[in-house]
Amino acid sequence: MAIKIQQAGEFTGFEQVIRFQEDSSGLRGFLAIHSTRLGPALGGVRLKAYASDADAIEDVLKLSRGMTYKCALAELPAGGGKAVILDHAGMVRDAAFRAFGELVESFEGRYRTGPDVGIHDEDLRNVAKATRWVADESDPRLGDISMHTAIGVWHGLRACLDHTGIRTATVAIQGLGNVGMRLAEIVHREGHSVLAADVDPQRVAQAEARFGARAISPQRITAEECDVFAPCALGGVVNRATIPELRCRVVCGAANNVLESLETGDELRRQGIVYPPDYLVNAGGVIRGGEYFLLNSDDSLPSIEKIYARTRNILRESEQSGEPTARIADRMAESRFRG
Ligand code: NAI
Does residue 180 have a pLDDT over 80? yes
Of 56, 2, 3, the residue nearest 32 (C-alpha): 56
What confidence score (pLDDT) does residue 95 get? 98
Q: How many CA atoms lie within 13 A of 187 on its CB side?
A: 35
For 152, list phi and psi in degrees, rounded to 5.
-65, -45
In angstroms, the CA 33 to CA 68 distance is: 9
Bridge partners for 16 per DSSP:
33
> Ligand 1: which residue has its CA nearest to atom 30?
255
Supply the mean pLDDT for the chain. Answer: 95
pLDDT band at 10 (very low <50, low <70, confident <90, very high): confident
Mutate which of 134, 148, 179 for ligand 1 pocket (most atoms within 8 A of beta carbon): 179
pLDDT band at 3 (very low <50, low <70, confident <90, very high): very high
What confidence score (pLDDT) does residue 197 get? 98
What confidence score (pLDDT) does residue 140 get? 86
In angstroms, the CA 14 to CA 7 distance is: 12
pLDDT band at 233 (very low <50, low <70, confident <90, very high): very high
Mean pLDDT of 281-310: 95
What confidence score (pLDDT) does residue 58 get? 95
What confidence score (pLDDT) does residue 29 get? 98
Quick one: what percent of the chain has pLDDT higher than 90? 92
Whether residue 150 has its Cβ less than 6 Å from ligand 1: no
Whether residue 116 has its Cβ less than 6 Å from ligand 1: yes
Q: How many CA atoms lie within 13 A of 25 on its CB side?
A: 24
What confidence tens digit (pLDDT) does each residue in 28-71 have?
999 999 999 999 999 999 999 999 999 999 999 999 999 999 99
> Ligand 1: which residue has its CA nearest to atom 8?
177
| Cα 118 to averaged position of ligand 1 atoms, centre (Å) | 8
Is residue 129 flagged as an active site residue?
no
Q: Does the pTM exceed 0.95?
A: no
pLDDT band at 213 (very low <50, low <70, confident <90, very high): very high
Quick one: what percent of the chain has pLDDT higher than 70? 100
Helix H, strand E, coil C: the string for the chain is CCCEEEECCCCCCCCEEEEEEECCCCEEEEEEEEECCCCCEECCEEEECCCCHHHHHHHHHHHHHHHHHHHHHCCCCCEEEEEEEECCCCCCHHHHHHHHHHHHHHCCCCEEECECCCCCHHHHHHHHCCCCCECCCCCCCCCCHHHHHHHHHHHHHHHHHHHHCCCCCEEEEECCCHHHHHHHHHHHHCCCEEEEECCCHHHHHHHHHHHCCEECCCCCHHHCECCEEEECCCCCCECCCCHHHCECCEECCCCCCCECCHHHHHHHHHCCCECCCHHHHCCHHHHHHHHHHHHCCCCCHHHHHHHHHHHHHHHHHHHHHCCCHHHHHHHHHHHHHCC
In angstroms, the CA 184 to CA 35 distance is: 33
- Number of Cβ atoms within 10 Å of the Cβ of 48: 17
Does residue 247 have a pLDDT over 80? yes
Does residue 234 have a pLDDT over 90? no
